[in-house]
Structure formats: structure tokens, C-alpha cells
Amino acid sequence: MTALSQTALLTELEPVVAKNLDRHLSVAKEWFPHEYVPWSEGRTFDGPLGGQPWSPQDSTVPEVARTALIVNLLTEDNLPSYHHEIATLFGRDGAWGTWVHRWTAEEGRHGTAIRDYLTVTRAVDPVALERARMTHMSAGYQNVHDDEVLHSLAYVSFQELATRISHRNTGRVTGDPACEALLARVAADENLHMVFYRNLLAAAFDLAPSQAMRAVADVLADFQMPGAGIDGFARKSVAIALAGIYDLRQHRDEVVVPVLRQWDVFTVTGLDGDGEAARDEIAGHLDDLERHASRFEEKRDARAARLATRA
């Protein structure tokens, strides 16, 4: 079987996009960022309006929750760059274009809501946040598979679920019910995004099983969160993992495995030699993830025990 070209894949998948776009629009709930922000807690800042400068004592949100909120917001902030990548690859015509714009509008709501919350509640330093946004957006985002439709669909299937888990768990550690409600609302959107992309790749598995399998194997092998370019990301992501907001165990068991199961990756038939090889790579990757996740959990437990004895 000859491989389908990128153009052929886009054309063949267009009716699936149209169907899932309708599905998305019928289940997505309209919501308003301003309703999730406790405006009465706000105070004017220093600067032209002569209010009070930010201080870390302004908020009781724990340090690690602040770190996760900043990472999550900067990721949402970089939206124009993601929009550019997917609009370039998927095109702006027909159902693909309608989806790309709709998705962008929804993601824009996430950034608005989280920024308003953080500014009003003074949970993070607004000057540092703005500078981080400038640095992060100035670097832009480049999809490592920017000329491969199926690779990009596989990536966003995992990535949307990863952001869902990360938003939801961040909400939990803030200790602020208002923030938890806001991030649960955002997480619900990310889940619908994941379903959309996952359904598209499921259709690709019917259409071109070996190409889809190859895409999934390649994407898992070099998977990185879109915020990986954030200043100090390595240090921040360790703190986030230690707090159980997003760690390797969650990545494996709550993101990678459930998505692979939905695609029936291990029972797909009709694979050619490379498709079979890709499937073996996926199995090997799951084993590696299991080992690394267990090792991280052991280290985290040992660290917690050490801290407890010291206290």
C-alpha cells in the first residue's frame, strides 16, 4: 500500500473534521471568564495609578501552585504561535479552517480567564509575569512535526489531555475554591479538544493504519509539553512533578495509555512492516515510561520521608 500524501490525508479527513466540529459545537458549553474572577478582591497596583505594589504576602496560594499557574498561563499565552502552526498545516478552508479558528478562540478564553484571576487576586508578581510572557512569546513555538498532519494530530491528542490534567490538578493545590472552579472549567474545554483530535486520529487509523501508527510512535518518542520553551522550565516542571500536579506516572497512566487504548493501538490490523515496527516502539516506550515513573515515585517518597524526619 502506498502512503497517502499530506494533501490526500487532509482531504480524506475533512468529512471527519466536519462531523466532529458539529459534535464539538453541540457539546461545548458557553462560559464567561469574568464570572470566574473574584473582582472584589482586587486592588490598584503601583505605577501610574499610585496603588500598592505586589508582594508575595498578598496571596495564600502555595508556591508550587503559583509556579504551575504561571507555566499553564504562559502556555495559553503562546496561542498565536500555535494558531500559526496549525493554520499553516491544516489550512483555513472548509471544516479544517472553521475548527482552527474556533479552537483558537476557545484557547484565548483560557488565557484571559487565568490572567484576570492571577492579577485580581495578586497570586503572582504581575511584573515578572508580563516579562515572562514577553520572553516566551518572543521565542514563539515551533511544532517539531510541522509538515506532518498525522504527527500533529497525535501530538495534540496527548497534549490537550496533558493540559487538562495539569489545569485540574493545579486547581486542587491552590487551596482556593474560586481558582479550582476556574481551572476545572478550563480543563473541561481541554478535554473536548482532546476528544476532537483523538477522534480524527482514530479515523486516520482506519484510513492509513501504518502511517497513523508511525505518527504515534514518533510523537511519543520526543513528546514535550508546549511550555517546554519557558524560562526555567526544567526546574519548574520538577517542582510541578514533585507536587503531583503533572508527573511521569500521570503522563503514562492518565494521558498516554488511555489515548492509546481508544485507538486500539495493540489490536489494529493491516499494518505493513513499518507499522509493526512503530507499534513495537510504542510498546517499548510504555515500558520505559513505567520504569522512569516508578523510579521518580521512589525518589519522591524518599524525599518526603527525609523532609518528614527533618521536621
Residue list for the binding site: 76, 107, 110, 160, 190, 193
Torsion on CA atoms 110, 112, 115, 118, rounded to nearest 10? -80
Q: Which is nearer to Fe ion, 85 or 278 (CB)?
A: 85
Does the protein bind Fe ion through residue 185 (CB under 5 A)? Answer: no
Q: Does 85 bind Fe ion (CB under 5 A)?
A: no
The piece of 6-14, 27-35, 186-194, 204-212 that touches Fe ion (CB under 5 A) is 186-194
Closest CA to 195 of 267, 95, 110, 262: 262
Q: Is 190 in the site for Fe ion (CB under 5 A)?
A: yes
Three-state SS at 32:
coil
In terms of phi and psi (left: phi > 0; alpha: psi -120 to 50; beta: otherwise), the region of 208 is: beta
| One residue of 83, 110, 145, 252 binding Fe ion per CB under 5 A | 110
Give the torsion sign (CA, 198, 201, 205, 210). negative
Convert 198-267 into a string of H (helix), E (strand) and C (coil).
Answer: HHHHHHHHHHCHHHHHHHHHHHHHCCCCHHHHCCCHHHHHHHHHHCCCCCHHHHHHHHHHHHHHHCCCCC
CA distance 159 to 308: 35
Q: Which is nearer to Fe ion, 165 or 213 (CB)?
A: 165
Q: Which is nearer to Fe ion, 72 or 211 (CB)?
A: 72
CB of 76 to Fe ion, least distance (A): 5
| CB-based contact 70:124 (threshold 8 Å) | yes
- Does 107 help bind Fe ion (rule: CB under 5 A)? yes
Taking contact as CB under 5 A, which single stretch among the options 7-15, 25-33, 155-163, 243-251 is the one that binds Fe ion?
155-163
Nearest-approach distance from CB 160 to Fe ion, in angstroms: 5
The CB-of-187 to Fe ion minimum distance in angstroms stands at 9
Binding mask 191-220 for Fe ion (x = CB under 5 A): --x---------------------------
* Distant-in-sequence, close-in-space partners of 121: CB < 8 Å, separation ≥ 6: 38, 41, 42, 59, 61, 176, 178, 179
Binding segment (CB under 5 A) for Fe ion, from list 91-99, 107-115, 145-153, 270-278: 107-115
For residue 251, state whether it binds Fe ion (rule: CB under 5 A): no
User: What are the residues binding Fe ion (CB under 5 A)?
Assistant: 107, 110, 160, 190, 193
